[in-house]
Amino acid sequence: MRNFRFYKELNIILNDPKLLITLPLALLIMPVIISIRKIILIRFGLIHSDRIGHFAANTELYLCHEKNDRNNPRMKIDLLYFPTKPCNNFLAKIIKRKTKILPKYIIRPFCLISRNFKFLNLHIAGRPPMSDHDIYNYYEKFGNQLNLNHNEIKMGNEIIKKVNPKNKPIILLTIRDAKYLQEKTKSNNFSYHNHRDDDIERYKILVNHMIKKRFFCN
């Protein structure tokens, strides 16, 4: 297992030439970061940016977890990065307002170092212990952390008025299928998610019925 991880990390470095420059610099800076961690704990981590479910839920729970830990007397600074191009630019914009996002080639070397040495695990950020499961009822306790600002809410209301000018009650359908992951990853190795998928055509009768009842369905 340890050998597998070593080769995985080595492959990450070799596939990103910038890391060959920034990794040695990170190794030089890390002792300084360790020496001041009793006063200021600097942590490094990533935000899962490739799939919108994890992009939203994991980030929301990370922010809730940090809010729950706000009574910790030690000052913390979390420096994060997006490992992939964000799957949703608008959500990325909101996340950047709530976190410190820096370029991948700067932060990733520190992440590689921190997760390969146990005594440096204290410097890993962005990974709430519950992943994307709200096992501590953080949503209820803290409410939304990723919020729209006043102008975004105003813009959203204007869009709703345009698409729904008669102000009908809105029904929003959220139906998952396999196409997104297949197109994004060019792979069919996600069959273990099939039990979560459905066919939107199955809802046609329901949608037409609700439209007749003067609902707006989308």
pLDDT at res. 130 = 72
At 11 the pLDDT is 73
Residue type, 152: E
Residues of the chain with pLDDT under 50: 3
Residue by residue, DSSP assigns 93-134 as HHHHHHS-B--HHHHHHHHHHHTTSGGGGGGEES--TTTT--
Number of neighbouring beta carbons within 10 Å of residue 37? 16
Q: Model confidence over 72-95: pLDDT tens digits?
A: 767 899 999 999 999 999 999 999
| Whole-angstrom distance, CA of residue 114 vs CA of residue 119 | 8
Q: What is the pLDDT of residue 15?
A: 77
Instruction: State residue 126's pLDDT score.
Output: 79
- Rounded to two decimals, the pTM is 0.85
Residue 45, SS3 per DSSP? strand
* The pLDDT of residue 10: 64
